[in-house]
Structure formats: structure tokens, C-alpha cells
Amino acid sequence: MNILNTFKQQQIPSSYLEENDETLKKLILSAKKQLGDQLLILAHHYQKDEVVDLADEIGDSLQLAQIANKNQSAKYIVFCGVHFMAETADMLTRKSQKVILPDLNAGCSMADMANPYQLQRAWEALQQKYPDEILPITYINSSAAIKAFVGKNGGLIVTSSNAEKIISWAFTQKKRIFFLPDQHLGRNTAFHMGIPLSDMALWDPVTNQLKGDLKRDIQVILWNGWCSVHQQFTLEQINALREKDSTIKIVVHPECSHEIVEAEDAYGSTNKILQIVQSSPVDTHWAIGTDNNLVSRMKKALPQKISFLNPNSCPCMTMNRIKLPNLAWCVNELAQKKENNIICVDEETTNASLAALDKMFSCH
């Protein structure tokens, strides 16, 4: 990725930051009307209500990238999410289309836990220990550079909704998998496929060491990364809710720790959580363990059915960097034929990443 080109972030004028919400909404709606189908605004489920309300499409990271890929009319795709999501959208769209991130500081702490230098060191060390026996798999929540490395080394990309299918396929290709950057999604998925925890090991990118019972025939090597939002749920919270209401059902995201996923009634991707709750009997009471921006919207729609697993959980702070002023500034500038914060992944990185993405789609 061309870092200099990607991180040329223009400064948002203070007038937008000082403006009231109603005026900002009017600016956004006016720009949308002026640009018509040349503008597509995408919003991730974890965005604030104020942003979601003005989006053309809402979904998880892969869904939104696929929507961008299928759209042929939009000249500008404004991605209200985090950096890796906008990168993926850029790689899946046409060269004539431009992907814009309203705030380039909207990153992902988990994606940042794996960089190409660390991965190269890890790969070399693991190849020495297990020559030609490992298939690399990266969660879509990773940088374009990490996706490209995985693609160049014959691996593929995984999402929280297709993880089991992808890992099952991977074991038909190689004896072991190297899963990054989220250890919890890898561990929880592999465990539910019947792989014991004792046959998993953890790669520490800081010490450049593999940790676990290495006398065993390790099948799953996990990168020591995690999502800060999904580490805010505890067994104490689950037990307290069940003591208060013995009929309550718990559903969590697979990025939660293993002990949390094992204590739930159901788990799944963001979309799976929505489907589980919406399809359950009307009198089912659910406590949900994922980003509270999404849970809050679900609770507004189904107040008697939804509770927060952790009402004090901090939502994704980098996702929340995108606010009405950022969105209003971006689209208002576009209406005036001014382009800011364009995400542009270079051709070499794109081609290698697409090899990994295409392999995922062919398995899906």
C-alpha cells in the first residue's frame, strides 16, 4: 500500500465541528440529492445511529464490500467504517470508482496487531518448524498488506460467518493452519469443529515465539491478537443476568474469549446475531454481547426482547471517530467536486489480496 497517498488526510474545517446536527443532516441530504446515484454511503453495523440513519446500505464489513463491488453507478463510495474495510472495498471495486473514509484515523486496533514485518518473521520461523505444512488464513479484519502476504503464500481470507467452512477446507490442503490476527475467532471456530485446545498454540509476535504444548501435534497456530470491544464481556456478567432471569438467552460474537463463547446459548457473526434474535419466539429475552451501538438499535426496535450483556461496554472508539461532521464534510466537498480521504491500495497489493479473497469466495 502506498502509505503517503493513503494517509493524505485533509483537515476538516472547524465550521463543520461547530455546526448543529440538523444543519449537518441537511447538508448531507442535499449532497445526496445533488450527486444521486454517483454517491453510495455505506455504514457498518457498529456505527452511531446518526450515521446509520443517513446511509444507503448497512451491514458487516464483507457485506458492505460486496455491495460496493456490485454497484456500477456510484463514482464515490463513502465508507463509514474503519480503514481495513475501506481498503477491501477499494480492492473489490472498479478503478473508476473512488472509496472515501470520512476520517482516516478510524483504524482497527486488532488489525494493527499484525504488521507485515512481524508476519514475515513468524512465517519464516514456522516454516522452519513445520516445512510446507501450514496454510495461512487471515480474518477479513486485517490490513491490505496482511491480506496480500497471505495471498502470496497460498492462503485465503475468512469472515466470522464463514470461518468453519473455510477452516474445514484449509485442512484438506495442509496439515496445519496459521490463523491471524484474531486468536479468539480462530480458537472458538476450531474448538467447535472438534479440535481440542491442547492441539492449538499461540504465536506471540512480540517475542517471536510459539507458545503451547509443542510436544503435541499442533494443528492450529493462533496469532496473539484480539478485539478490544469483545474483551469487555465476562462470566460474572453472564451469571448475574441468569441469576436475575433464569430464562434469559445469551448470544455473543465469536471474537469474544473462549470461556464466554462456551457459556452462551448461541454465538455468531453480527448478521447471525441479528438473524437469531429476529427469528426467535417473541417472548424470548436475549442478552447480546457485541458492540453496544448495534445492541442499542436492536433494543430500540425490540425493547422487551433485548438486554445488554454489558451495558457499560465501551463501543469501538475508532469506528466512532466517524461522526456527522465528518460525513457532512466529505459528501459536501464531493458535491463541490472536491475529493478528500481517498483510500487507494496499490496494484501489487490489490492483486495478491484478491487472490486470497477469490479463494475464499470459491470455497464459500
Question: Which pLDDT score, from 0 to 100, does residue 9 have?
Answer: 60
Q: What percent of the chain has pLDDT over 90?
A: 93
- pTM value is 0.94
Verify that 221 and 129 share a domain, yes or no.
yes
* 16 domain-assigned: yes
Verify that 90 and 155 share a domain, yes or no.
no
- pLDDT exceeds cutoff 90 at 2: no
CA 68 to chain CA centroid, nearest Å:
16
Verify that 124 and 212 share a domain, yes or no.
yes
- pLDDT exceeds cutoff 70 at 8: no
Report, as an integer, the average pLDDT of 223-230. Answer: 97
* 45 domain-assigned: yes
Which residues participate in the annotated binding site for [4Fe-4S] cluster? 108, 227, 316
Verify that 275 and 217 share a domain, yes or no.
no
Range(s) of the domain holding residue 190: 111-227
Report, as an integer, the average pLDDT of 208-214. Answer: 94
**337 Rama class: left (phi>0) / alpha (psi -120 to 50) / beta:** left
Split at pLDDT 50, 70, 90, the class of 7 is: very low
- pLDDT exceeds cutoff 90 at 126: yes
Task: Assess contact for 57 and 267: CB atoms under 8 A.
Answer: no
* 64 domain-assigned: yes
Please state, as a whole number, how many other Cβ atoms lie within 10 Å of the Cβ of residue 264: 20
Q: What is the CATH number of the domain that holds 51?
A: 3.40.50.10800
Report, as an integer, the average pLDDT of 127-146. Answer: 96
Question: Which pLDDT score, from 0 to 100, does residue 364 have?
Answer: 61
DSSP symbols for 221-245: EEES---SGGGS--HHHHHHHHHH-
Q: Give how far Cα 275 sits from Cα of 60, 238, 268, 272, 361, Å.
A: 13, 21, 10, 5, 22
* 242 domain-assigned: yes
Question: Which pLDDT score, from 0 to 100, does residue 309 have?
Answer: 97
- Of 227, 245, 264, which closes a domain? 227
Report, as an integer, the average pLDDT of 124-144. Answer: 96
Please state, as a whole number, how many other Cβ atoms lie within 10 Å of the Cβ of residue 109: 15
* 15 domain-assigned: yes
Split at pLDDT 50, 70, 90, the class of 287 is: very high
- pLDDT exceeds cutoff 80 at 225: yes
pLDDT in tens, 53-105: 999 999 988 889 889 999 999 999 999 999 999 999 999 999 999 999 999 99
Question: Which pLDDT score, from 0 to 100, does residue 1 have?
Answer: 38
Verify that 245 and 180 share a domain, yes or no.
no
Which residues participate in the annotated binding site for iminosuccinate? 44, 61, 139-141, 160, 253-255, 270
Verify that 12 and 86 share a domain, yes or no.
yes
Which residues participate in the annotated binding site? 44, 61, 108, 139-141, 160, 227, 253-255, 270, 316
Verify that 8 and 97 share a domain, yes or no.
yes
